[in-house]
Amino acid sequence: MKMADFDYDLPDERIAYTPAGNRSDSKLLVWDQVITAEAQYKYIADYIPTGHSLFFNNSKVIAARILFDKSYGHDAEKMIDPHSSTNSKQNKIEIFCLEPTAAFTPVQLAMQATNKVQWKCLVGGAKKWKTEFLQKELFYDHIKILLSAKKIAQEEGHFVIEFSWDHPDIVFSEIIALVGQIPLPPYIQREANETDKDRYQTTYATTEGSVAAPTAGLHFDEHVFNTLSAKGIDKKFITLHVGAGTFMPVKVDDFQDHLMHAEFIDVSVETIEYLATTSDNVIAVGTTSLRTLESLYWLAIKIKQTPEIDVNEINLLQWDAYTLEDKKMSINEAMQFLKDWMTQKKIKTLFATTQLMVKPGYQFKICKGLITNFHQPKSTLLLIIAAIAGDEWKTVYQHAIANEYRFLSYGDGCLFWFNHR
């Protein structure tokens, strides 16, 4: 199948460049083999039966964009005024943190690093970087801190940048909170503002590490959680740190030639134990939650077939789900095996990376439903919708466009029910 089969005309006026006034006011379309209802997220509990479990990605977006002044090098004597008229974009070098290097993974290790840390980064204006160091002065609780950035290496598609700072009690998560900017999706051509700091973040985000929001969760507020709880619908949390690759366009004609980016996941042994005993009615909130849940099944298979696997290097590759033989292992059996293996290894949290590519023909193992936004044309996210709905994804998207639904990260969404539930 070709990526041209997953294209559609998305009018600019259908793209949501700003969030809805209230999170749960966003529109909700319900699909169960056909479109069955239209509502708002505030009423989503009406469309989910009692006894189901919603799995949310609790990853938190970090302020991954850091701007340095190109003239503020190692021998600088004064702080550059960020409001100065001479401090234009032409003088800026932007460093976009993608993911920490292997020495600083899992992500939590990088976020809690003191003194220095290394990240794989994109660098805007790299040719203007003439000094060994870029530097920036910050103030934390009236204490002056000097932040430095140094190019360690240039690798395919990114630079390795070492950040260092001269305050031993400050961790990297505090540094970027002081100096960084929230990275809005590239199609939103404006600077992030105060509203974005709140609204481009889920209300339940706790684990820092994403450079893009798991946007399906942006619609869930206290009112929605209260209505779900009142109906006996559980909520569970898992983590996938969303990488910049989520916005990477598919540039090949045949999507099977597209290289999926790897993303970090972590799931507690308690959650895996829950899935081992209660896995019949799982709904993923967002494609990131879906890919995490489905990856757990295949990781269990992979670990069982590879007993010598290194607990620090657990990776699900792009096509593993299509080449590993599951030998008809049930969800409960797979999750029980994974839980027992973690207990044996004395692991309380499973840290891994996943490149899982869900495409048409994929056989879902854990998820019975998906709550998600409307995605960009010719994207790997749209392939997931096609794996659920077949060619009916076109009917759903055409209906949404005709009925003025808002698309992409700040837009409306859809509840898809799988036909195998």
Question: Is there a single domain that holds both residue 42 and residue 150?
Answer: no
- Asked, for residue 361, whether it belongs to a domain, the answer is yes
- Asked, for residue 256, whether it belongs to a domain, the answer is yes
Q: Is the pTM of this model over 0.85?
A: yes
- Asked, for residue 267, whether it belongs to a domain, the answer is yes
Question: Is there a single domain that holds both residue 265 and residue 390?
Answer: yes
One digit per residue, the tens of pLDDT, for the chain of length 421 reads 789 999 999 999 999 999 999 999 999 999 999 999 999 999 999 999 999 999 999 999 999 999 998 765 554 434 434 444 444 556 889 999 999 999 999 899 999 999 999 999 999 989 899 899 999 999 988 889 999 999 999 998 899 999 999 988 899 999 999 999 999 998 898 888 989 999 999 999 999 999 999 999 999 999 999 999 999 999 999 999 998 777 667 888 888 888 888 999 999 999 999 999 987 899 999 999 999 999 999 999 999 999 899 998 899 999 999 999 877 889 999 999 999 999 999 999 999 999 999 999 999 999 999 999 999 999 999 999 999 999 999 999 999 999 999 999 999 999 999 986 6
176 token code pair = 């970027």
Question: Is there a single domain that holds both residue 23 and residue 147?
Answer: no
Q: Of 181, 216, 237, which marks where a domain is finished? A: 181
- Asked, for residue 186, whether it belongs to a domain, the answer is no
Question: Is there a single domain that holds both residue 39 and residue 132?
Answer: no
Question: Is there a single domain that holds both residue 21 and residue 82?
Answer: no
Question: Is there a single domain that holds both residue 147 and residue 53?
Answer: no
Question: Is there a single domain that holds both residue 82 and residue 38?
Answer: no
- Beta strands (DSSP E) in 199-339 are 207-210, 234-240, 263-268, 282-285, 315-316
Question: Is there a single domain that holds both residue 220 and residue 367?
Answer: yes
Distances, alpha carbon 35 to alpha carbons 45, 61, 285, 343, 416, in Å: 17, 33, 19, 44, 9
Question: Is there a single domain that holds both residue 54 and residue 115?
Answer: no
Q: Is 124 helix (H, G, I), strand (E, B) or coil?
A: strand
Domain that holds residue 147: 65-181
- Asked, for residue 169, whether it belongs to a domain, the answer is yes
- Using CA atoms, how far apart are residues 216 and 416, in angstroms rounded to an integer? 12
Question: Is there a single domain that holds both residue 256 and residue 305?
Answer: yes
335: region left, alpha or beta (phi > 0 left; psi from -120 to 50 alpha) = alpha
CATH code of the domain in which 11 resides: 3.40.1780.10
Q: Of 148, 181, 214, which marks where a domain is finished? A: 181
- Asked, for residue 189, whether it belongs to a domain, the answer is no
Question: Is there a single domain that holds both residue 121 and residue 259?
Answer: no
Q: At 256, which amino acid appears?
A: Q
- Asked, for residue 177, whether it belongs to a domain, the answer is yes
- The number of folded domains in the chain is 2
Question: Is there a single domain that holds both residue 163 and residue 310?
Answer: no
- Asked, for residue 187, whether it belongs to a domain, the answer is no
Q: Of 126, 153, 181, which marks where a domain is finished? A: 181
